[in-house]
Amino acid sequence: MQTTAFGNDGESLAKVYLMKKGYRFIRRNFKSAHGEIDLIMEDGETLVFVEVKSRHNRRYGEPVESVRPVKQQHIRYTARMYLLGRRIEGRRIRFDVVEILAEPGGTARYRHIKNAF
C-alpha cells in the first residue's frame, strides 16, 4: 500500500476509533499555510486537535516520537488559524496523538495519547 493511502486509511481508522470512544467528529484534514490537522474532534466540551501516526512497524521508534517540537508548533499554529477563522474564543482545547500500528493479518493496534503536547 502506498504511504499516502496508508495515511488516509489511518486517519479513517482513528476517526472511527475515537467516535466509538464517544468523540464527535468535526473536520478532517484542515490545512493552513504552515500545516495540517488530521482530525478535529469534540470530547465533551473540549475541542481536540488530533495528529494521526500510522506505521507498519516500530523500526524507526514509536510513532508519537515523530511528532517533534517543530511539528507541534505547526499543529498549534494551524489550530490557532482554525479557531480564529471561526471566531472561537474561550474554549478548552487539547492536542492528542493517535498511533495506529498495522499488524500482520490486517489487524490494527491503537494507542491514544491525550494531551500529547
| DSSP-assigned states of every residue in 36-88 | EEEEEEEETTEEEEEEEEEES-STTS-GGGGS-HHHHHHHHHHHHHHHHHTT-
> What is the CB-side half-sphere exposure of residue 16 using CA atoms within 13 A?
8
Q: What is the mean pLDDT of residues 15-27?
A: 98
CATH code for the domain defined by 3-113: 3.40.1350.10
Tens digit of each residue's pLDDT (9 = 90 or more) over 58-109: 777 788 888 999 999 999 999 999 999 999 999 999 999 999 998 777 788 9
